Structure 1
Amino acid sequence: MPGLIAKKVGMTSIYDENGKNIACTLIQTGPNVVTQVKTQETDGYTAIQVGFDEKKEKRTSAAMKGHFSKASTSPKRKVIEFRNPVMERGLGDVLKMDEIFSEGEFVDIVGTSKGKGFQGVVKRHNFGGVGQATHGQHNRLRAPGAIGACATPSRVFKGLRMAGRTGGKRVKVMNLRVMKMYPEDGLILVSGAIPGAKNSYVILEK
């Protein structure tokens, strides 16, 4: 089994055995239920579909109600597929974090970064600006500067770092250490920051 669906709770910090303060992120996993098992014969590939977080039935379509009822579970808000599962899982099985993860190991976390709208080059690409406001400059401290390339090639290349829409993308942060686990509460504490806002869904992978 490669991972679980979880929800970002927020950030805190703890002290390690050497007295060093480490910034950590608290993640709520809760029970993940297998809502579908895909096989090579029926679907052309092997995978398991996992559901997480309760959803009201009145906000669930009839088709999805039938889909979840096959797994003998209530409707779920978030459904994710994990390809080529390592462990054999059956329809309706509940996946728990202490069966998959353990303290001290490293995990990868996938999430959607915070959307920041249309931003300039300083915020979007970490440009340094043009320095001090001298030589007659007016209101140009955060400007991108010239983008031309003279007579040759007399055009602007695609992919040039310019202003534009920032954030709201799928981001994967690798090798975050599992600092502590609280199986009775369904909580995992990992070192460092993870993408997304509070209460946003993330995917934990081994």
Structure 2
Amino acid sequence: MQVSTLIGRKVNQTSGFLQNGKRVPLTVVNVMGNVITQLKTTDKEGYSAIQVGLDIKKKPGKRDLNRAKQAGLEKAPRFFKEIRMDDIEGAELGTSIDIATVFAPGDIIDVTGTSKGKGWAGGVKRHGFHGGPRTHGQSDRERAPGSIGQTTTPGRVYKGKRMAGRMGTDTVTVKNLEIIEITADGVLLIKGLVPGNLNGYLTIKKVGENKKFVPLYKENTEEDSGIASESSPVSEDASQTNADEQSSEPAQLSESKPSDPNDNQKIKPESALDSSENVQTSPTASTEPEQAKEEAKKEVVQDAKS
């Protein structure tokens, strides 16, 4: 059994952003609780189909109670829909249909529902008539429908003539919508708008898949941030130790340097004295050999005279 159609209830209309930054309208549809209430076979009814029920009816009639009793249900469903199928092997009465086996994010669907009732409406609102001109004495014919037919031939109004009448409450099908997300509690987020009021029932049929599917954008939740913070205590400790090392290095450098500014002044004169002593001692070191040479010459001259 391969089911491609389910029934759902319209819950809300909202909007959201895709991961590519595009904002799209979203319709929230609840499809949880699709239960098989009846099986139809080719031997008995002449075709294969299953009947699906949704929600619970508060005050069911005898017919609904008998149908629920045959399916083995305690309470009668509120809405029923028959789904044609080629093969119903494996289908059992009273079993619920798993949504994951029917729909997936990115599926292209057709949604059928009953449009909102507008009551009695004129031709301008119901069919988009432009109305008559405001000039040439027709100020009271602005929203009038105008002529509705000919004269003696054919002498009647054709069937299907667009005129004023009851508007809305029609069966409307919106095609080629897309399923953006399926939540764990059986809620479909459909891109686009569907017919009907809130809490109205819809028929959702899968017709294809979108190969260029873009999922819905989601912000990081508190749980994710909590997991990230719990999973990184080592990195926090490492960063703390690095900060401690960086703070200790300037302390060591400050200890090696003189804390008193007068010490720098004391050290500088000593170095200056050393340099001056070196300058003063260097000339005496260079004059000693010259004096020794002169004394030796004087001794040689005295020996020669003697």
Q: TM-score, normalised by structure 2?
A: 0.61
C-alpha distance 87-15 of structure 1, shift in aligned 2 (>3 A): farther
By relative contact order (CA 8 Å, sep 6+), the higher-ranking structure is 1
C-alpha distance 44-87 of structure 1, shift in aligned 2 (>3 A): closer
Q: Who wins on radius of gyration, i.e. which is larger?
A: 2
Contact 1:2-1:85 at 8 Å conserved across structures = no
For residues 8 and 63 of structure 1, the distance between their equivalents in structure 2, rounded to whole angstroms, comes to 26
Deviates more, 1:82-91 or 1:167-176: 82-91
Q: Which amino acid aligns with 2:65?
A: K
Q: How does 1:1-206 map to 2 (within 5 A)?
A: 1-56=3-58, 59-73=59-73, 74-84=75-85, 88=89, 89-131=91-133, 133-149=134-150, 153=154, 155-182=156-183, 184-206=184-206
**Among the aligned pairs, what percent are the same residue?**
43
Q: Which amino acid aligns with 1:8?
A: K
Deviations 1:101-146 (A, max 9, x none): 1111111111111111211111111112235x22222232222122
Q: How many residues get paired?
A: 202
Deviates more, 1:173-182 or 1:70-79: 70-79
For residue 67 of structure 1, give the secondary structure of its aligned residue in structure 2: helix
Larger helix share, 1 or 2: 2
For residues 47 and 143 of structure 2, the distance between their equivalents in structure 1, rounded to whole angstroms, comes to 50
What is the CA-CA distance between 1:201 and the residue it aligns to?
Answer: 0.8
Structure 1: 4+ residue segments shifted above 6 A: none
For residues 48 and 98 of structure 1, the distance between their equivalents in structure 2, rounded to whole angstroms, comes to 18
Q: TM-score, normalised by structure 1?
A: 0.89
For residues 158 and 68 of structure 1, the distance between their equivalents in structure 2, rounded to whole angstroms, comes to 43
For residues 120 and 63 of structure 1, the distance between their equivalents in structure 2, rounded to whole angstroms, comes to 40
For residue 55 of structure 2, give the secondary structure of its aligned residue in structure 1: strand
Contact 2:40-2:50 at 8 Å conserved across structures = yes
C-alpha distance 66-140 of structure 1, shift in aligned 2 (>3 A): same
What is the CA-CA distance between 1:86 and the residue it aligns to?
Answer: 5.4
For residues 136 and 41 of structure 2, the distance between their equivalents in structure 1, rounded to whole angstroms, comes to 68
Contact 2:49-2:88 at 8 Å conserved across structures = no
For residue 142 of structure 1, give the secondary structure of its aligned residue in structure 2: coil
Q: Which amino acid aligns with 1:75?
A: A
Contact 1:48-1:85 at 8 Å conserved across structures = no
Deviations 1:133-189 (A, max 9, x none): 22222232222122333665554322221111111111111111111111x222111
Q: Which runs of 5+ in 2 are unaligned?
A: 207-306
For residues 43 and 57 of structure 2, the distance between their equivalents in structure 1, rounded to whole angstroms, comes to 31
Q: Which runs of 5+ in 1 are unaligned?
A: none
For residues 68 and 153 of structure 1, the distance between their equivalents in structure 2, rounded to whole angstroms, comes to 54
What is the CA-CA distance between 1:17 and the residue it aligns to?
Answer: 2.6
